């Protein structure tokens, strides 16, 4: 399994807990309220401390497919990018476009805020039920296209953090198929 180097940006896979990542920003798979939830969202709020919820309250929520920035507070990451993935409803409700938009908007927000290293969870593939192989193909495809279209990007490293083996295998497959 090798990394993908696209222009300035290294795309890599890692196993583990995103709250422990030493990167400039971690991405949170949030819900539209931005007021915390289960899964990775709950883990990020626990690790960042109550200041994160206070910061999120000021943002007035976030639409599905959009992304918003807060500090990382007690996390090693200086920033959290909160994005809201689509709930899977069979695939005919714009889910693919909305999921791609999560990655695209997160990258644009990172770029605009001087973020060089970024870690993504597998957005929508937990509680929101997005089929893993389709979601990882969209994640890798969108990030790859961004890197190809932004040869001067300041983002040098993008890590897909996999919480379980099935997710890791799905990303490995998506990396292979994107080559």
Residues in the chain: 179
- The tokens for 114 are 């001087």
Angle at 10 between CA 127 and CA 103, to 5 degrees: 35
Does 71 participate in binding ligand ADP (rule CB under 6 A)? Answer: no
- Minimum CB separation from ligand ADP for residue 130, in Å? 7
Angle of CA points 107, 155, 80, to nearest 5°: 55
Nearest Cα to 65, choosing from 93, 38, 105, 36?
105
- Known active-site residue 24: no
Count the site residues for ligand ADP by CB under 6 A.
Answer: 21
Among 41, 68, 137, 144, binds ligand ADP (CB under 6 A): 41
Where helices occur in the chain by DSSP H, the ranges are 39-48, 50-57, 95-112, 132-149, 165-178
Minimum Å gap between C-beta 147 and ligand ADP is: 22
Binding residues among 95-114 for ligand ADP as defined by CB under 6 A: none
Q: Choose, from 3, 17, 41, 165, the residue flagged as catalytic.
A: 41
At its nearest, how many Å lie between ligand ADP and the CB of residue 163? 4
Contact footprint for ligand ADP (CB under 6 A): 17-19, 29, 39-41, 43, 85, 121-128, 161, 163-164, 167
Residues with active-site annotation = 41
């Amino acid at each position: 399994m090798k990394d993908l180097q696209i222009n300035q940006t290294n795309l890599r896979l890692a196993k583990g807990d995103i709250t422990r990542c030493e990167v400039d920003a971690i991405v949170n798979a949030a819900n539209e309220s931005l007021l915390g939830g289960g899964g990775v969202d709950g883990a990020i709020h626990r690790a960042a401390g109550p200041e994160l919820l206070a910061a999120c309250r000021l943002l007035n929520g976030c639409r599905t497919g959009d992304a918003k920035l807060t500090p990382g507070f007690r996390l090693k990451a200086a920033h959290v990018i909160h994005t809201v993935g689509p709930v899977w409803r069979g695939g005919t409700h714009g889910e693919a476009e909305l999921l791609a938009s999560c990655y695209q908007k997160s990258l644009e927000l990172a770029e605009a805020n001087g973020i060089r290293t970024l870690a993504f969870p597998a957005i929508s593939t937990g509680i929101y039920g997005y089929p893993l192989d389709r979601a990882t193909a969209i994640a890798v495809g969108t990030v790859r296209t961004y890197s190809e279209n932004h040869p001067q990007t300041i983002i040098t490293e993008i890590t897909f953090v996999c919480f379980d083996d099935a997710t890791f295998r799905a990303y490995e497959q998506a990396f292979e198929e994107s080559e």
